[in-house]
Structure 1
Amino acid sequence: MTPEGADGAPGQSADNPFPVRGVAIRVAGWIDRLGAVWVEGQIAQLTLRPNSNTAFITLRDPAADMSLSLTCPRGLVVNAPVKMSDGTQVIVYGKPSFYTGRGTFSLRVSEIRAVGIGELLARIERLRRLLDAEGLFDPRLKRPIPFLPDTIGLITGRASAAEHDIMAVASGRWPAVRFAVRHTVVQGPNAVPQIVDALRALDADRDVDVIVLARGGGSVEDLLPFSDETLCREIARCTTPVVSAIGHEPDNPLCDLVADLRAATPTDAAKRIVPDTAAEQALITELRRRSARALRNWVNREAHVVSQLRSRPVMSRPLAAIDARTDEIGRARTAVRRDIARLLRVESDRVGHLSARLTTLGPAATLARGYAVVQTVPDAGDPRILGSVADAPAGTRLRVRVADGAITATSEGGQ
């Protein structure tokens, strides 16, 4: 590069700068070489000036915060086969151009085609398959809706029937419910950015327990923002449960599939989010009645069981069996005593007989008949019964026991 202040090519130094016209002409030449292109987008702003033959259009990319300025002949818009208005999805054919007089870029359009319903539906179907493949519709990712939300975040159009229906039905079912309402446009090119901003604000609010995205029914073009990829991904990123209440039963935008709960109508959303006070009170009353009846039945059943147990003879008269056996026990006791007495008499007689026989056969009786027991009395030791004459030589001391006592004697030897 040439040093500042040195001579060189135009525009390469402060001493040899390009004039404005030089830059503008060169930029116009570069852009002119781009050639004509087909571009698809959504009309964000359409301006038809009364005294101008040129229409000015701002074409927006629904999936990004980007836009292009278009210019075209007035008749191209006025004579279009479909009405051109803000929010219309179109495909244009034009040549990029740079206006040197104002230094602005635009696309000079020579043909405009409105995207048909079939093409819109096909595009939505392709996006549906893409999001489904990424798992955004997986039921396992659905967040549970709280039973009784304290604050409901509501995203809807200003003074819309959807807002009136949700607030009226929810307040009628649970008067204490509160709302955090965010008004946005619900169709057209500005709908998606506003709805996404409102969704982020409500999701960041810790007081909001559930978010409802509500809109009345409409055509496919009217509901197109609710099938926008940016909005669907934002719903999937929310940490607060999101309820989709878009349109009526036949309407099925893609946000219905991403949301945690899909309601057929705004009224249905209010009914499914907020419990009915009267119905819940009736349910509590019914449950209390049923529990009280069940408790009474259980008490009566158990009381009947206890009554049956108490009515049994063993419980009502526990000593009846013993009383019934009293006579039998008395007779048994008498018989036992009689048998014992008889046994004692028999055994007493037997003992007496044995005693008499023992007395008759004993030594005392023999001694009483004149017999005597002679014992030798040694100098040491116990006396021994004299059984032989040889055992008592002369001089042996003897002890003679008779019936009434004992005497001592001395042996004189055998004869």
Structure 2
Amino acid sequence: MNSIEIFSGAGGLALGLKKSGFEHKAIIEINKDACKTIRSNKIFHFGKNLFEGSISDFNFMTISEEIDLLSGGPPCQPFSLGGKSKGRHDIRDMFPEAVRAIRESKPKAFIFENVKGLMRASFNDYFEYILLQLKHPSIKREDSENWERHKIKLLENEKINGDNSLEYNVIYKLVNAADYGIPQKRERVFFIGFRSDININWRFPEPTHSEDTLIWEKWISKEYWLRHKIPIPQVDEKNKSKAEKINKKYAYIKPTKKAWLTVRDTISDLPYPTDSQVKRVNDHIFKGGAKIYPGHTGSYIDEPAKALKAGDHGVPGGENMIRYQDGSVRYFTVRESARFQTFPDDFTFEGSWGEAMRQLGNAVPVKLAEIIGKSIFKSLSELKNDSKSLIRQDGDDI
């Protein structure tokens, strides 16, 4: 199936969707180092269909093939809890360009990802405006209109025409990546849309992993510590209370979902970054200078990693660090961070440590993209199969 990727960054979402069966007819990205990363990895055919430049300069009409899926992550800094939170007043708000991409390419489906901060109360009006645009991409905002006036126009269209006016049926959901087997507590909002004329009833994939099971394996069965062949820690009152609640919640029977994956689960087979064996591992280089700051103490080794951060001017202080049982910290290497974002170990990143970490902090976890992508691919495949069946039936009648 054909797809287009916009705001691709290093290609986490694009790679996951490729693994789920989609072939990119265009990959659009403006950052030079991210484009170098795309070109350095053969899975993207070394950037064969990469457009390096501003999305505003890309004409989607030039793609002749029918597009099944449009995907991307419009820049999230305008809505990030860690940023300036200018939202609709930020020149980096690229949702209008994402809507133009839908309008011009007319995909059967689309998937967009953004930060949790987009859903905060102060952005409610603009969040509703984003949804309205995604549902009615053909109703363009005129140069003379501000976004508030355009929103009124979209609302009036829905009031007059009702559901018949919908061009896309849109679902949005706040997702914690850890619930899908990604070793990172990363909450992001996903927008999934299907063209209304193809009548697909799609539901978001069910979570497969849970914190409850991790608590069970650490403090009830103790199998977590046994699996890693390390001494079982003395349970403190906080974790003892958690274990008691879990026991009662599940009537003393282990939860059926898999346990959240931890930092230790993810990187325990890698040598320490200063070890003599480290040269055999791609992008696994020690970075000094890690320090703890109030409220920023790194990711505890026996929990999923905290969400990787990507600051405009480098990694923020106290972020993207591992915190050991003795309280000491160090920065994650690029390879470790890539594992938290579920990139394969042979995937390389271009640029300095800070630039590579920025690419990783902005990426969609590959495995999560693949899970969602396979679900969408399945729905679109069933649609195509049904269409072929109808054609055969019509032929038989003739």
Does the pair score TM above 0.5? no
Please give the TM-score of this superposition, normalised by the length of structure 1. Answer: 0.21
Please give the TM-score of this superposition, normalised by the length of structure 2. Answer: 0.21
**Higher radius of gyration, 1 or 2:** 1
